[in-house]
Amino acid sequence: GETFLVKAQAVDQFGNPSSIADLGGHSALSLTDSTGSLSCMGRFDGPAPGLIYSLCAVYTAAPAVVVDASLAETDLAASALPFEVINGPLGQIAFELSRTEVSAGAPLDFVLSAYDEYGNPYQEQAASNVMVADSEGELSGSSVVLNASGMGAGTVTLTRASTANHLQGSVFGTLYGDSDTFTVLAGEHAGYDVNLGESWVEVLEERAVRVNAVDAYGNPLDNVAATLSLSSLNDAAEGHQGLTMVDGTLVASMTWDEAVLQDQVLAEDGTFASAGGPIDSLDFSCPAPPVADLALAGETDLRLCLVSGQTNTITVSAAGSQDGGAAIAAYHFGFGAIDDSRQAQPTLLQDWSEEGAELVEVVVVDDNACADRASARAWIGESSGQPVGPVEVVLADESRIAGSTSSGTTTVELAAWDCAGDPASNGTLFIRSTLGALSSDISTLTATGQGLTTLLDSDGSGALAWSFASEIVGGDAVVHAGTTPGSAHGSASITVNGDARLPRVVEYTPVGATDQIWSTITLGFDEPLYAGSVTQSAFSITHPDGSEVTIDAVELSTDRWVTITPADPMDGTVGTWELSVASSIRDDGGGNYLSGDWSGARSAFSLSFGDVVDNAPAVTACILDTTEFRPDGDDHSGVDADGVVVQVSAAVTPAFWWVEVSSADGVPVQWLAVVGSSAVEDIRWDGRGADGLVVPAGRYTLAARSLDAALARSTACVEEVDVVHLVRAPESP
């Protein structure tokens, strides 16, 4: 591969330089070599007649390479003296494995061959030591020395099970090749891995214990079925007997009823007994606990600058913590989502490599297993003058009135600083609120398509208007200001008074066709009710024979649930029973009357059940226009929309379309009712709960149903959507 100059001189019969112009010039010259790999990149005439220079390279290593020259259409030819071509610099390393499947802990033999970039054996070596690693990162410090032929052999032992591992060869940190994929199989069952996920637990707090069957090297096994007992080493928690492990995994709950240090959970099956890592069971209500203190480089809110992708290393210190009734024994440090770690010393060193904010926590433990906790926050941002750290958000008012043009607006004052602690001059903040509308004031509010932003002035401050004049409901509204990486954030809340939203019945049992005997009717409303309006006279039940049923009791429980108890049970086989709820029912917040027909206007509510025909058509499809959206006041499409549209369809038009929105834990947060006007309907959820406030970030379930005139419901068509807030408190999801 190294270039060299080839000089070919045409001569006459006496050895004198001779022109070959009449034979085609230098293009008539042909150069070859004995390896067949000669390649010439350029050719030009020399100063003498018939002298031709060629810039060439040979790509096959050989001890005696001969270059031959000849002229086209003549029998003239000549050969240069032999010369040696050695291999080029190292270009690749090839592996040959003894097998493609090996058990954990068993040896794996291999042969490696080193070549230059042209495929020549790497015999002339600038370095002969090849470091061998694996793609799973288990091997370290393993090496093979190449022999004179550029080959080497070795054996490695891997214990980490994997399905797609590779051996990798490198020299001086440069990777030159890897092997074919091979599998490391887990070994035989040898015990259990017992994991609580944390280094401490609070007394009387239920904690999940996960047990995995493992081989001798800790690899999980999915083919083990066993009966286990779980116990506390110090008898500080009540154990379990006869637990069944399925597919190598068992999850059970344990509760520690005694404070103790360095307990362990034991998992036993009669053959194997394994212990989990040490765990402290802690009492945070001791009469004389330690007093925890935590500081990051002396601060509880520390701004850090990223320089070349890294912050300075700082000291995380709980050294300011004080003894209580006993000496401090240990410190459990936690960083965000990382599991806590226990150590005896009160300090550690930490740095960060990504923008954002991280809550750092410490639990301080004394010799009596008494504990206290403290936290601090690290704010990490680029050294660019943009806001980093706590944002100051101050409201001009403590309360406002929903729907008021004169008392429905307040001013939001903002101030921010950069990572060095200087005012964030001309910095940008993203703004969102859980209620109301934000607009320009001293500062300009800009809709970017990805959220509302405002540009701070030269001293890092600004002001916006926040109006509730268009709202019909109040509550505790929050305005958030920050950056989308999460490296800056601040918020403020305001009480918004007023409620013009009419209550609705959103859950009811029984309904539709039923042959059961019912002793009660249960109604759920979408907001708390005024107890004085929930009277027996507001409810009536009509018997299938047309007579009015005597109601013994009407009970309002947990604010929004009403239970109606008739004097006699209601037999669904007798005929059609009818319930009517008067529009005199009022909510507790604003005294608004019932909207029983879900129109938003005052109206009674009614339903039928018993010997009726359910006519709610099956929902054949429910399609979301996005699987993620951001209700931030800057409405665009897709993920940048302020809401999600679910398109529902059925074979025929129902009386109503109904969508129930529930949080990830299954709690309903909103109900959407639309009068049926078509067999296909678009229904939009704006990311607000029934209380009118924007819901927290998370995954929500939309269950779409059709309803018939008697309010009987079809089977739900269910889809999920994620609500995302780019601007949020650091500890929020």
Q: List % helix, strand, coil for the chain (3-state, nearest 5).
A: 0, 55, 45
Domain 90-185 sits in CATH 2.60.40.1930: yes
Whole-angstrom distance, CA of residue 427 vs CA of residue 415: 10
Tell me: cis bond preceding 654? Omega within 30 of 0 counts.
no
Q: What pLDDT does residue 733 have?
A: 53
Q: Which residues contact 264 (CB under 8 A, 6 or more apart)?
A: 194, 232, 233, 234, 275, 276, 277, 278, 279
Q: DSSP secondary-structure letter at 26?
A: G
Mean local confidence (pLDDT), 125-145: 94
- The yes-or-no verdict on residue 498 having pLDDT over 80 is yes
Give yes or no for a contact between 328 and 364, defined as CB atoms under 8 angstroms apart: yes
What single string gives the DSSP state of each residue in 614-633? Answer: --PPPEEEEEES-SEE--SS
Residue 24 pLDDT class (50, 70, 90 cuts):
confident
Whole-angstrom distance, CA of residue 509 vs CA of residue 495: 35
Over the Cα atoms of the chain, what is R_g? Answer: 39
Q: DSSP secondary-structure letter at 25?
A: G
What would the two tokens of residue 142 be?
């393993």
Cα distances (Å, whole numbers) of residue 566 to 519, 543, 551, 651: 7, 11, 4, 38
Give yes or no for a contact between 42 and 26, defined as CB atoms under 8 angstroms apart: no
SS3 of 512-536: EECCCEECCEEEEECCCECHHHCCH
- The yes-or-no verdict on residue 317 having pLDDT over 90 is yes
- The yes-or-no verdict on residue 459 having pLDDT over 60 is yes
User: Which CATH superfamily groups domain 191-282?
Assistant: Macroglobulin (MG2) domain (2.60.40.1930)
Cα distances (Å, whole numbers) of residue 529 to 504, 508, 574, 589: 10, 16, 33, 8
Q: What pLDDT does residue 141 have?
A: 82
> Which tens digits make up the pLDDT trace of 176-213?
999 999 999 999 999 999 999 889 999 999 999 999 99
Mean local confidence (pLDDT), 320-332: 97
Q: What pLDDT does residue 263 have?
A: 97
User: Which CATH superfamily groups domain 295-382?
Assistant: Immunoglobulins (2.60.40.10)
Residue 112 pLDDT class (50, 70, 90 cuts):
very high
CATH number for the segment(s) 619-723? 2.60.40.4070
Task: Identify which has the larger pLDDT, 698 or 731.
Answer: 698
In the chain, where are the structural domains located? 3-85, 90-185, 191-282, 295-382, 389-487, 505-610, 619-723
- Looking at the domain 505-610, which fold is it? Immunoglobulin-like (2.60.40)
Find residue 628's DSSP bridge partners. Answer: 722
Mean local confidence (pLDDT), 377-391: 96
Least confident span in 18-27, 29-38, 372-381, 602-611: 18-27
- The yes-or-no verdict on residue 731 having pLDDT over 80 is no
Find residue 200's DSSP bridge partners. Answer: 280
Find residue 380's DSSP bridge partners. Answer: 304, 356
Mean local confidence (pLDDT), 697-717: 96
| pTM of this structure | 0.77
Q: Which of 617, 614, 615, 613 is nearest to 652 (CA)?
A: 617
- The yes-or-no verdict on residue 472 having pLDDT over 80 is yes
Q: What pLDDT does residue 340 have?
A: 78
Q: What pLDDT does residue 337 have?
A: 66
The reply to whether domains 90-185 and 191-282 share a CATH topology is: yes
Mean local confidence (pLDDT), 579-608: 96
Q: What is the mean pLDDT of the chain?
A: 95
Q: Which of 567, 573, 532 is nearest to 552 (CA)?
A: 567
Q: What pLDDT does residue 730 have?
A: 81
Helix (H, G, I), strand (E, B) or coil at 22: helix
Cα distances (Å, whole numbers) of residue 342 to 264, 289, 329, 331, 594: 14, 18, 10, 6, 57
> Which tens digits make up the pLDDT trace of 66-99?
999 999 888 899 999 999 999 999 999 999 999 9
CA 345 to chain CA centroid, Å, is: 32
Q: Which residues contact 16 (CB under 8 A, 6 or more apart)?
A: none
Q: Which amino acid is at 46?
A: G
Share of the chain above pLDDT 70, in %: 99
Q: DSSP secondary-structure letter at 688?
A: B
> Which tens digits make up the pLDDT trace of 499-514?
999 999 999 999 999 9
Mean local confidence (pLDDT), 225-246: 96
User: Which CATH superfamily groups domain 389-487?
Assistant: Immunoglobulins (2.60.40.10)
Whole-angstrom distance, CA of residue 224 vs CA of residue 105: 20
Whole-angstrom distance, CA of residue 106 vs CA of residue 674: 66
Whole-angstrom distance, CA of residue 213 vs CA of residue 455: 56
Residue 559 pLDDT class (50, 70, 90 cuts):
confident
Mean local confidence (pLDDT), 440-450: 95
Q: How many CB atoms lie within 10 A of CB 147?
A: 13
